Amino acid sequence: MLVQDYMTKHPLMGRLTMSISEVQHYMADNDLRHLPVVGDGKRLLGLVTRQSLLVEPVRLRSLDVWEISRYLTTESIDVVMIPADDVITIKGDATIEDAARTMVRNRVGCLPVVEDGIVVGIITETDLLAQLAEIMACSADIPAVRATVQMPNRTGNLAKMVQAIAAQDWGILALGGAVNRDDPAVWDAVVKIDNVTKDAVREVLGEVEGHRVTDLREA
Amino acid sequence: MAQNRWVADDSHRVQTPILEAKNLAVSYEIRDGQVNAVRDVSFKIHRGETLGLVGESGCGKSTVAFSIVRFLGKNGRITGGSIRFQGQELQDLSEREVRSLRGDQMAMVYQDPFQSLNPCMRIGDQLCEVLQEHRGLSDREASVRAIQMLDAVYMPDSAAVMRRFPHQLSGGQQQRVVIAMALLNNPALLIMDEPTTALDVTVEAVVLDLVDELRRRLDTGVLYITHDLGVISRVADRIGVMYAGEMVEVASAVDTFIRPMHPYTEGLMRCVPKLGLSKESSSLYPIRGRVPAPTALPPGCVFEPRCDYARRRCREKHPELRSVEREHLVRCHRAEEIRETEWRPSDETILDLQERLRSRSEDGSKVLEVSDLRTYYDQESKGILSLFGLGEKRQVKAVDGVSFEVGAGTTLGVVGESGCGKSTLARTIIGLESSRDGKIDFLGFDATLPLSRRDKRLIKDLQMVFQNPDSTLNPSFPVGYQIARPLRRFGKVDRARIGDEVVRLLNRVKLDGSYYDRLPRQLSGGEKQRVGIARAFATNPRLVLCDEPVSSLDVSVQAAVLNLLMEIQQEHNSPLLLIAHDLSVVRFFSDAIMVMYLGKACEIGPAEAVYAPPYHPYTEALLSAVPTADPRVEQKRIRLSGSVPSALNPPTGCRFHTRCGRKVGTICETEEPPEIGFGDQHRIYCHLPLEELEAMDAVITA
């Protein structure tokens, strides 16, 4: 689960010769929220986002309608792009959790994936969310039971749950977990099991010592 | 293959196709006006998808490719429609911008790898140049990247290859270098124009696997152009069929082959022999007529003059490319009405031919008996001693101890990779090369004699059809004269009746008398090959050698020429020796087959026995590599590494041991393999124990 496996390869890219209105059209036509701008050899020069495309109100006040249209058609992409030096990027061999953390910390929605200054892909919030859905086997389309189990935040507890499932010869479609928001001593595990009934899951997982099934649904 | 439980959903990604052509039209300016070479062509290529473009030559496939990269030449230009690459209109870009796209985001691989490589530069320098030019990498970084890329295309010993010159690599290796070079900048679009046409089947299989793997790993969109239906069925996700400059059908690969809806696509499928079928059990149905010139298109449907389903509407109104089923576009008024099962050949004689072939009887008499034939070429050593005649004499053992026989009225097919001695064998029998040793008994004549000492009757009775009709017809004499020449030379008919006889022969090969006075350059490739056949059969020969008679022809012409050869063979009851690299054609046409490797026979026997287990490991690999024009067919995946070793210094023991996947042990390296008989004249030369040979699975399962 590395960035290079989940990024969009061959992203759509802008060139310095594009005017602002061309960029607007290009992004709107292709439903893009982020557009890396590259020079020869796909070298990263900057990044245009929907936000960076917005004209600042300060600027607007000084422009009349004609000037806005002149601004949009004659000014080139470099006026609105974030220059490469300020763009947060990531390497292809970083993990997806690294990518997620980088995005959260820097409050950005996309990271151009860059190797030796060359754009090789782009990874966005959506890619990571899609991957979260994938980790939880959302596209599997197999009837399954999804259980949330609270267990002590100590080594060996997840293994106990998995053993209980394995003892029934059940298959795990997806498995995840995180520390409980309110109580750091508790760990919330989510497990998806196919080919079982809710009652059977409740019975088997509820019997594990120290575990409590807090949520059970068909998914 | 195990069924995956589910596949990842990619619907959140950008949906813009890598390449989208809409109503594309391309014209070339010529002296008297304009040729509309491509009209109204639309297609899309998504990321990680291969679109195959097929069609006969002259249908505009390459023009489409050239228009994408703006290589149309001075007189060509896009006259309508649009081409969007990554959502940008290519026609709006300046020459400079297109050039930088070509290097950075699009790459091309052409048919002949040798022409794409600079002969005077080392491979490493050529690869590094790309990286330094486009990416500004340092020498060291570039060479590290280049070696990685060569490894990615499975180049053996990539570091050493970097120091070599193109001529020091085999064709398959050269093509891999070209593909590596194309992929160095990680292009979004890869255009491949007949990239494997010049390669042997075994090498082709490796290159096709590679293209498929790289596409999946790098998410590259691929436009794959070929005339070969087998190849396209192996690589393409979707297929666009082009005819006379138009797209006539676009569908998924499976649909194209299983439920073709355009009569032209159907017709193409009927032209290629299915691997494993013989001429007794199936027929080839050539498409009548030929592709119209772009200057003389019919007013209605462009395919109407050749279509067996045509109605009045087809003559009057040009059909649009329309969606008939989901993801299945067809340009035909009657796509829903026509049913392939209701189709009857317009030429009933083909069915008669199949009937006649089935009912023929073999009298078992032998026409040609070759035993232990050896043909060596002397090669002077390049040392200084050779100047004084003292140098070590080396020999290329092109044919090295081959024995077989051909019975009256039957066909022996000879297959093997290039360099295995197939052609030398034919040339030795006909007398163009002299044999070193062995016997050739042809109807009691000794055919080991050089041509100059051969009996005139022997020459008359032994004729040949060559691969390339261009180089075997004299360009400065009319066709009639060239066919008449053997008639005059051998006095088969009275001088006064030669003219009539030539016309009869022309008719025999389905050309009318008006061809008598035409010059070869006024004929199409298929017509030239027909003349070549007429000339070979003019003297009523007792044996005809055919060296790749159809490999340079389009599929529909190929079907017609094969039918013609069968018909004439039937009529004269003359045996044929058919040399071809296309294993489906050989299987279809031949009664018996000999598989050759480095001058020796590996396996020989009746066609159905050779194409079914037990196999010689080499036959097994060849069958596994041959592209089949049917996506439902499952083939075992056996890939040979490397290329055929040099015949100057062939491996000891079994010559195939260096590449064999079933090598037994050192015995293969030291001892010549024994002959193992399987009854019914099926012989395999291999060290494998009998039980193992008999336990082999079939390579191809339908």
What does the pLDDT read at residue B385?
67
d(CA B698, CA B680): 19
Do residue B220 and residue A26 have CB atoms under 8 angstroms apart? no
Q: Where are the alpha helices (DSSP H) in B299-374?
A: 312-316, 349-359
Shortest distance, CA A9 to any CA of chain B (angstroms)? 7
Q: What is the pLDDT of residue B409?
A: 85
Mean pLDDT across B133-151: 87
pLDDT digits 0-9 by tens, B563-601:
888 888 888 888 899 998 888 889 999 999 999 999 999
Average pLDDT over residues B97-108: 88
- Look at residue A59 in the predicted model and tell me its pLDDT: 62
Helix (H, G, I), strand (E, B) or coil at B259: coil
Whether residue A134 and residue B8 make contact (CB cut-off 8 A), yes or no, is yes
Dihedral Cα B512, B514, B520, B524, nearest 10 deg: -50
Number of Cβ within 10 Å of residue B41's Cβ equals 26
Say which of B5, B47, B136 has its CB closest to residue A140. Answer: B5
Interface test with B, best of A6, A27, A32, A42 (most B CBs within 10 A): A42
Compute the mean pLDDT over every residue in chain B, rounded to the nearest whole number: 87
Q: Which residues of chain A does B94 touch, with a Cβ-Cβ cutoff of 8 Å?
A: 17
> What pLDDT score was predicted for residue A46?
95
d(CA B476, CA B470): 12
Chain B residues close to A142, C-beta within 8 Å = 5-6
Region B100-114: mean pLDDT is: 86
Residue B273, preceding bond cis, omega within 30 degrees? no
Cross-chain CB nearest to B97 (options A15, A31, A118): A15
Chain B residues in contact with A15 (beta carbon < 8 A): 97
Q: Which long-range contacts (CB under 8 A, 24 or more apart) does B487-490 make?
A: B487/B538, B487/B539, B490/B456, B490/B459, B490/B460, B490/B539
Closest by Cα among A87, A90, A1 to A37: A87
Q: What does the mean pLDDT of chain A come to?
A: 90
Report pLDDT for B151. Answer: 86
E strand or H helix that includes residue B109: strand B106-109
- Chain A residues within 8 A (CB-CB) of chain B? 8-13, 15, 17, 26, 29-32, 40-43, 116, 118, 120, 126-127, 129-130, 133-134, 137-142
Q: What pLDDT, in 10s, does the model give residues A146-204?
A: 999 999 999 999 999 999 999 999 989 999 999 999 999 999 999 999 889 999 999 99
**pLDDT at position B381:** 66
Does residue B82 have a pLDDT over 90?
Answer: yes
Residue from B4, B5, B15 to probe the interface with A (highest A Cβ count within 10 Å): B5
Question: In B, which residues are within 8 Å of A92 by CB distance?
Answer: none
Give the closest of A41, A118, A139 to B8, CB-based.
A139
Nearest to B16 among A30, A130, A133 (CB): A30
pLDDT band of residue A56 (cuts 50, 70, 90) is low
Residues B10-50 have pLDDT tens digits of 788 888 999 999 999 999 998 888 889 999 999 999 999 99
Q: Write out pLDDT tens, residues B376-401.
A: 888 766 666 666 766 667 788 889 99
Q: Residue A29's closest chain B neighbor by CA?
A: B87
User: Cβ B16–A141 below 8 Å, yes or no?
Assistant: no
Nearest to B449 by CA among B463, B435, B438, B464: B435
B360/chain A closest Cα distance in angstroms: 59
Task: Measure Cα distances from B506 to A86, B472, B499, B513 in Å.
Answer: 77, 17, 11, 7
Beta bridge partners of B53: B225, B240
Does B628 have pLDDT greater than 90? no
Q: Mind giving me the DSSP string for B355-401?
A: HHHHH------EEEEEEEEEEEEEEE--SGGGGGT-SPEEEEEEEEE
Q: Give the pLDDT band (50/70/90) at residue B120.
A: very high
- Cα distances (Å, whole numbers) of residue B369 to A12, B431, B441: 66, 15, 5
Under a CB-based contact definition with an 8 Å cutoff, are residues A128 and A99 in contact? yes
Query: In Å, how far is A41's CA from the nearest CA of chain B?
Result: 5
Statement: residue B361 has pLDDT above 70:
no
CA atoms within 13 A on the CB side of B69: 20
How far is the C-alpha of B547 from the C-alpha of A211, rounded, in Å? 78
User: Which pLDDT belongs to residue B386?
Assistant: 66
Is B442's pLDDT higher than 80? yes
Q: For residue B3, is pLDDT > 60?
A: no
Examine the pLDDT at B542 and tell me if it is beyond 80: yes
Indicate the residue of A9, A134, A140 with minimum beta-carbon distance to B218.
A9
Nearest residue in chain B measured CA to CA from A34: B14
Residue B475's CB: how many other CB atoms inside 10 A?
9
- Given a cut of 90, is residue B449 above it in pLDDT? no
A199-218, pLDDT tens digit by residue?
A: 999 999 998 989 999 999 98
Cβ proximity of B516 and B479 under 8 Å = yes
Q: How far apart are CA B189 and CA B85, in angstroms?
A: 9
Are B383 and B392 in contact by the 8 Å Cβ rule? The answer is yes
Band of pLDDT at residue B80, cut at 50, 70 and 90: very high
Give the Cα-Cα-Cα angle B520, B521, B522 (nearest 5 degrees). Answer: 90
Q: Which of B82, B93, B96, B135 should one mutate to test binding to chain A, selecting the residue with the greatest count of A CBs within 10 A?
A: B135
What chain A residue is nearest to B13 in terms of C-alpha separation?
A8
Interface contact flag, B8 A29, Cβ < 8 Å: no
Q: CB–CB of A13 and B86 under 8 A?
A: yes
- Minimum-distance CB partner of B14 among A12, A116, A133: A12
How close does chain B come to A57, measured CA to CA in Å? 31
What's the whole-number mean pLDDT along residues B418-433? 88
Chain A residues lying within 8 Å of B16, measured CB to CB: 12, 30
pLDDT band at B359 (very low <50, low <70, confident <90, very high): confident
- Tell me the CA distances in angstroms from B222 to A120, B109, B568, one per residue in order: 18, 11, 43
Nearest to A12 among B12, B16, B94 (CB): B16
pLDDT surpassing 60 at residue B695: yes
Confidence band of B2 (pLDDT split at 50, 70, 90): very low
Q: Do B88 and A116 touch (CB under 8 A)?
A: no
Confidence (pLDDT) at A31: 92
How many CA atoms lie within 13 Å of B122's alpha carbon, on the beta-carbon side?
12
- pLDDT at B332 (0 to 100): 93
CA angle B632, B633, B639 (to 5 degrees): 130
What is the share, in percent, of chain B residues with pLDDT greater than 70? Answer: 96
Task: Write the residue in A8, A118, A141 that is nearest to B13 by C-beta.
Answer: A8
* Per-residue exposure over B492-521, b if at least 16 CB sit within 10 Å of its own CB, e if not: ebeeeebeebbbebbebbebeeebbeeebe
Task: State whether B135 and A134 contact (CB < 8 Å).
Answer: no
The answer for residues whose C-beta is within 8 angstroms of residue A96's C-beta and 6 or more apart is: A1, A2, A3, A6, A123, A128, A131
Whole-number CA gyration radius for chain B: 27
The reported pTM is: 0.88
B134 vs B38: which has the higher pLDDT: B38
Phi, psi values for residue A56, rounded to 5°: -65, 140
Query: Which residues of chain B are at the A interface, by a Cβ-Cβ cutoff of 8 Å?
Result: 5-9, 12-16, 18, 47, 86-88, 94, 97, 100, 103-105, 134-137, 141, 185-186, 188, 218-221
Model pLDDT for residues B157-212, shown as the tens digit of each residue:
888 889 999 988 877 788 889 989 998 888 999 999 988 887 788 888 888 988 88
Distance, in Å, from the CA atom of A219 to the CA atom of B450, rounded to the nearest integer, reads 83
Residue of B nearest to A124 (CA): B13
Judging contacts by C-beta atoms under 8 Å, the chain B residues touching residue A141 are 6
Q: What is the pLDDT at residue B237?
A: 93
| A201–chain B nearest CA distance, Å | 22
Q: What was the pLDDT predicted at B86?
A: 94
Interface test with A, best of B3, B4, B22, B86 (most A CBs within 10 A): B86
Q: Count the alpha carbons within 13 Å of B345 in the hemisphere toward its beta carbon.
A: 17
Determine the pLDDT at residue B391.
65
Cβ contacts of A120 on chain B, cutoff 8 Å: 186
Q: In this model, does residue B85 exceed pLDDT 60?
A: yes
8-state DSSP, B339: -
With cut-offs at 50, 70 and 90, classify the pLDDT of residue B103.
Answer: confident
